[in-house]
Structure 1
Amino acid sequence: MPADRLLTTVLRAYHDVPNPVETDKIFGTTTTLLTNLNNPLNLSLLTSHFLTARSIWQAPDGLRTCLRIISVYNTAAIHVRKNELENANNSRVGIPVGSGVSSEDWARAIAKGADDRSSRWQHTLVLTGVLMGMEGDDRRSLSWSLRSMLERAVTTAANLALHNPQESGPLGRGAVVLALTYAVPLLSDSAKQLLNGNVLLPAIIEAMLGDEGFQHGDFISSILRDITPGKIISWRTNSHSVTRLQILENRPLTQNMGPLSRLVPFAVQHTTDPNIVLQAQKDLLGFTAGLLDKWTHCPLSAIDLSVEAAALSLETLQGPHLRLWQLFKKIMYAVVASLQPMVGRCLLDPYMRNDAIAPTVAAQTLHTLRNLSFISTRQGAGSFQVYEFTYLTSLDIITRYPDACVSFLQDTQPPPTSNVVPSPTIQALSLFYLNTAEHLPFSLPTPACENLIITPATAYLSPTTSWLSSPANMPPSSLTLELFESAHSSVLSALSCPQHSPLAASLIPFYIDALLSSFPSRISPRQFRLAFRTVMQITSPPFPISASEPELSETLLEILRFRAASASTQPLPPPPNEPAAAAAVGVGGAKKEGGEAGPVSEQSALVLAIIDALPHLPLHAVEEWLTRAAESMNAVADPAMREVARRRFWDVLVSGEMDVERGAVGVAWWGTNGGREMVLFGRPRAAAAAGGGEEFLMSGALLETGREGSRL
């Protein structure tokens, strides 16, 4: 059909009632006409009628229709440019390929068609499609002046549409946001500066969380009606809730959530009114709070990761359940990526970094991350750089304000532990609480530290908390180990603060008892040594507790030495959940030398803990405990494990872990008090002191025949 007759036909079809089948044909025909019409006036006419077509806009399919508009003009622009290049390279005189209209004339004609008959947000779609087709993927189809004019037209149309939210409506605002996710990467810096962040940021947050985005988490509520309870939970793949999930995933904004979340930092940076940024943060907080509440009431939230394979049908596990968690992760990434620039601005904006606003921003950010903890704690999903920056920066800010720290911990304190296994969601919230509390003891008064950190954390260390030790026929919860480790870290963090020394003096005996009760069944040798070493640092100078309880450090070592004498000598299996990187790192974070890598038993781990404590003992006790540590080391039955302890002993003496005064004591003990013989040859203390029948010789002395070489 000739182009003119086809144009008449499609213009007539624009006025028909909406029909999905005919609408698809209309889009295809319009793309063809945009590529083949050779009269710029007809191109303008087609665009003008296309943006007001009843068959398309009377009942649009949300942002899918808007995306198709962008796609139509993007595709047409690519073909127009391709045809232009082919015609230029064709030396034969003949009929030109396509319409024969140049790229510049075509772009101007399309821009003229975006007239006053249609809305500004529709203009944004058309102009974005033209810009993408002509200049995307490093195509340089337009002159510099025309491209600059096109870029300014995109930003002007976007600003005007967002300035009139009532006229644009939710669809129009979402369409502008969708168009800008494609257009902004192509805009020059000067054109980007024209975008109004004050109207753009609220539109982005609305689009992200609204019906065209994450639907305010309402998709969770529909799952409840479609789950079949029983010993094995079934969630049919043809149910309404699964269909809704599929539709949500296929929406343009959801599929384009990565570029959308990258648009948020730009909008935050260009928002001149800080109150708009604060409101956007409140919107994210409200969304995540609703998401957490809806998930808590969903039966799937009660299934721990460790038992999912047994509790869910195979169809559910590999189908809708997997799709649901992929959507949850996408939500978390988008929200955290949106929070990061807001927290970053809190460091620079004088209005947001003052003492009235900064703690509120930090606390709300932490509340938002806490609401997402049921996602971030699942298989380490929160281990990415943007999350770490947002989380740690918020902690740095809130630690400057003791009242804000107390208020946050009071608002998020987990429920008291009991013998009933809490739900995975409660465990995730508790884990977030303990991980956060670990950073706050220095900012808290001692009573608050005891009530808000010590009491909740010690509940997870107590052997009476039976749910932490799962029955033999049940696998442990996926967060059991992390909760236990976080509780230890929180207690040690509180004990390490000098201001809480009175609290530490009464707590350390209980903590050491819990530590010994947990080893080796619930805590690895590396973790045990690190915890005991930290306690020894706390009980030694210059910490105040060393003055009020001068004998505490030696008492703890005595407990450990007597425990080692009767401990098991069987090799311990490597901890399954301990990262390989952690296993390759020694106490204090130093890389293991050859002596620390090797088999370990309960007995040798206790001996290694004694050796680790030597650099932190009071000066008067160093020599005595060097001898006792050597005796305990020689009592290790297994030669390979004894060699591990010997090399660690040597490392403590020569690696600089001891300060100058303790190092001098160590040198004297090694050279003149029998230390060398005890460590290298395993001689008893009395034999080493008496020389063991051997005389001490200076280095280089002449020896009688048959005697060993020089020794020190």
Structure 2
Amino acid sequence: MTSTGSAHLLTAILQSLQAPAGRNTNIRTIVNNTAVTLSRLTNPLNVSLLTTQSLAAPAIWNNPSPLSASQAVFDIFRLSTQERARESNRALSLNEWIDAVVTGADARVPRWKHALVSSGILAAFEADDARLPFTTRTNLEAHLLEVVNFHFEFSTSGIETHACILAISNAYRLLSEDSRYMLNYPALTGALLPAMFLSPEGYQTGDFLRQIDRSVPIGQQKMAVVPSFSLKDFLTHPFVANMGALAKLAATSMASSGETETINGALSVLATYSRSLVSIWRETGLSTLPDDATISHDPVQTNTAQLWHVLKSSLFSAVVVLESIVRILLQSHQIARNNEVHTFASQILCILRDFYFITHRTNPAAFGTYMFVYHACVDIVMSNPAQAESLAAQLAPIQDQIPAGTIPAHPTDILRDLYFLNTLEYLVISCSPRFCTTIVSPSLTPYLTSPSITPILREPFESAHSLMLAMIGCPQLVESSYKILPGYIESVFAAYPLFLSTRQFRLAMASLIKFTSPPTALSGIQRDLPDIILEMLCARIEAADSRYPVKAYKPPSSVPADATPDGSAPAAAEPQAEEEFTERDVCILSMLDSLPFMEEAALERWLDIAAGYVGKTTKGDSREALRGRFWDVISGELDVGRSQLAIPWWSEGGREVVLGISA
């Protein structure tokens, strides 16, 4: 390009940068034109001039979103450097050109804008950093770290800090190991997490839900309380669009810091966000909308499926940070010595409780990071019985808000109960009898006594059964367990097969025999409890239907989980096998499942009874399945003492009874 042409082009660009920003201003066009012009300039003074003007241009910075302006400036220097690096035959060498750009970011330009220049140049060499001279790279990295460390240490909010976060998040993966070592990680964590979850440029402490709710169309009209909220525009916010990279940077920063104060600050931010998010979600009408409901007509029609994508992204980002914290808790001897690890683990489980209305839709079993965080924290808390009971009290339904003995009306409250029931199944072994009587029993009783085929109530119902079995198996709860046992046994028989799944019924029967057979504490109160339960099972076998298979309960099809934070899709859940057993078959299978737990003195009698039921089965498929299960039990599931009874029994006539062969 001739000097005259270059001068005309520079003049035109400078005029466009100085023009006041208006509704018709196209920032992307300004960015592209400025980047191309900057890359073609060969006079160092002109390069510095255009750099200075870009960092103060009204057309860019008079923007309702200062962070979007920062993103635009970052893009100018990244794109111009990429363009300049592709052409080596210039009067001005690449190194001289970079020096001229850096010179343009002089003392008249706020220091935080310097970070955008340095990170933009560094980011341009992500694909091929060999062309950037070592000395130049070192100077750029040192300058960037000097600026961001200063702002992270003395300011944790505002455009200055947010611009520095934008700069370091784009350049961090390109920094040398020595430069990364110089980064102030505690200060970075303290600035980064509030920016991600609490700031207007991030997830806004969940307030975006309230704005969406106000914009939900009613029929063909829209509520005109506030201007319509655009979910599409929200997703283009620099922090929201780059949340995956920010979450990984936050996790790295947390791991590199590992200080108790930093962990406290991080958990405080996540707790504030999760509490606010679930509170706003509960108070709005968004939770009741179907997945294809329109939530915005202007400017682009969006639906609740896209909203769930945003919510899941916020969950994934939070869990990535929590994983880093959990790893610190497991590895830090200092935190363990200070006895803070149990408190931190409890806080994490409370945060996960508030996120559960999102987690429930994401197939958590396929989300490995979430499962690691959850189970690791449960294990940590269980190692301290006092902390376990304290956590259980925090997770328990609030009696002032939901009357004792009733099922909440709001779906979000039901899901919180479900999280409580699932978690308490692990913690109940550490809870006192008084706590279980006053807190646990009132929480699970409504679900046990009011079975429902409604999908949202089915899971709490089965979780309540699992928790009840866990309570019955706790030695410290033997007195209270004995009192509630008769009612619970009746509820199990009454709930199957309409409300209780086959798997849950078989598990309940086997567990009841296990917990009431010697040498358990319950057997010391009433030794014949197993015989009573099995006699009830025999009566059910005689009355049960033997013609038609039990209708298999299939949970409602869940919304497919979005990609996990590492970019891969969660593994698909295994399809549920079709149940072909009749009600009579299931009751017999339950008796067979119980054989390994029976007292040796009673085993032989119940072997005869169970074998008789199997031998009398006439339906072909059922007969083969029952015979196979009987053989599996006596050949591989009995301990040594019971095997010494079962093997002679089998060879002395038991086999013929099972096969239905007349003596």
Is the Cα–Cα contact under 8 Å of residues 413 and 433 in structure 1 kept in the other structure?
A: yes
Moved more, 521-530 or 59-68: 59-68
Q: Distance in 1 between matches of 2:295 and 2:160?
A: 42
Q: Distance in 2 between matches of 1:663 and 1:582?
A: 35
Counterpart in 1 of 2:371?
A: 388
Q: Distance in 2 between matches of 1:429 and 1:103?
A: 59
Q: CA offset at residue 504 of structure 1?
A: 2.6
Moved more, 407-416 or 635-644: 407-416
Q: CA offset at residue 568 of structure 1?
A: 0.8
Matched to 2:387, the amino acid is A
Q: Distance in 2 between matches of 1:360 and 1:254?
A: 31
1:137 is paired with a residue whose SS is: coil
Q: Which has the larger radius of gyration?
A: 1
2:520 is paired with a residue whose SS is: coil
Is the Cα–Cα contact under 8 Å of residues 359 and 401 in structure 1 kept in the other structure?
A: yes
Q: CA offset at residue 652 of structure 1?
A: 0.8
Among candidates 476, 496, 502, match of residue 499 of structure 1: 476
Counterpart in 2 of 1:352?
A: 335
Cα deviation digits, residues 641-675 of structure 1 (max 9, x gap): 122111100111112x1011110101110112x10
1:634 lines up with 2:634 in the alignment: no
Matched to 1:449, the amino acid is C
Counterpart in 2 of 1:115?
A: 106
Matched to 1:344, the amino acid is R
Among candidates 628, 632, 647, match of residue 628 of structure 2: 647
Counterpart in 2 of 1:448?
A: 435
Q: CA offset at residue 20 of structure 1?
A: 5.7
Is the Cα–Cα contact under 8 Å of residues 351 and 357 in structure 1 kept in the other structure?
A: no
Q: Distance in 2 between matches of 1:240 and 1:504?
A: 56
Q: CA offset at residue 297 of structure 1?
A: 1.2
1:42 lines up with 2:23 in the alignment: no
Q: Distance in 1 between matches of 2:134 and 2:266?
A: 37
Q: Distance in 2 between matches of 1:297 and 1:45?
A: 53
Write out aligned runs for 1:188-267 (5 A). 188-208=176-196, 209-227=198-216, 243-267=229-253
Counterpart in 1 of 2:61?
A: 57
Matched to 2:496, the amino acid is F
Alignment CA distance shift 1:285-1:241 (3 Å) = farther
Q: CA offset at residue 245 of structure 1?
A: 2.6
Matched to 1:364, the amino acid is Q
Alignment CA distance shift 1:274-1:506 (3 Å) = same
1:571 lines up with 2:513 in the alignment: no
Counterpart in 1 of 2:153?
A: 163
Write out aligned runs for 1:476-495 (5 A). 476-477=454-455, 479-495=456-472
Matched to 1:576, the amino acid is K
Alignment CA distance shift 1:469-1:258 (3 Å) = same
Q: CA offset at residue 372 of structure 1?
A: 1.4
Among candidates 253, 264, 274, match of residue 278 of structure 1: 264
Cα RMSD (Å): 2.9
1:403 lines up with 2:386 in the alignment: yes
Is the Cα–Cα contact under 8 Å of residues 216 and 294 in structure 2 kept in the other structure?
A: no
Moved more, 172-181 or 347-356: 347-356
1:364 lines up with 2:347 in the alignment: yes
Q: Distance in 2 between matches of 1:493 and 1:17?
A: 69
1:658 lines up with 2:638 in the alignment: yes
1:327 lines up with 2:310 in the alignment: yes
Counterpart in 2 of 1:144?
A: 134
1:603 lines up with 2:589 in the alignment: no
Q: Distance in 2 between matches of 1:573 and 1:54?
A: 69
Counterpart in 2 of 1:429?
A: 416
1:32 lines up with 2:20 in the alignment: no
Is the Cα–Cα contact under 8 Å of residues 296 and 302 in structure 2 kept in the other structure?
A: yes
Instruction: Report the TM-score when normalising by structure 1.
Output: 0.83
1:520 is paired with a residue whose SS is: coil
Alignment CA distance shift 1:147-1:315 (3 Å) = closer
Q: CA offset at residue 458 of structure 1?
A: 3.0
Q: CA offset at residue 546 of structure 1?
A: 2.5
Is the Cα–Cα contact under 8 Å of residues 458 and 491 in structure 1 kept in the other structure?
A: no
Among candidates 601, 614, 624, match of residue 620 of structure 1: 601
For these two proteins, the number of residue pairs brought into alignment is 636
Flag structure 2 segments of 5+ consecutive residues without an equivalent.
Answer: 557-571
Matched to 2:256, the amino acid is H
Counterpart in 2 of 1:125?
A: 116
Cα deviation digits, residues 366-413 of structure 1 (max 9, x gap): 221111122111253674122112222221222233333333333332
Q: Distance in 2 between matches of 1:359 and 1:636?
A: 54
Flag structure 1 segments of 5+ consecutive residues without an equivalent.
Answer: 88-98, 471-475, 585-596, 684-691, 693-712
Q: CA offset at residue 113 of structure 1?
A: 2.4
Moved more, 409-418 or 73-82: 409-418
Matched to 2:421, the amino acid is L
Instruction: Report the TM-score when normalising by structure 2.
Output: 0.89
Moved more, 622-631 or 50-59: 50-59
Write out aligned runs for 1:477-556 (5 A). 477=455, 479-556=456-533
1:187 lines up with 2:165 in the alignment: no
Counterpart in 1 of 2:559?
A: none
Moved more, 610-619 or 489-498: 489-498
Is the Cα–Cα contact under 8 Å of residues 120 and 161 in structure 1 kept in the other structure?
A: no
Is the Cα–Cα contact under 8 Å of residues 223 and 241 in structure 1 kept in the other structure?
A: no
Is the Cα–Cα contact under 8 Å of residues 231 and 302 in structure 2 kept in the other structure?
A: no
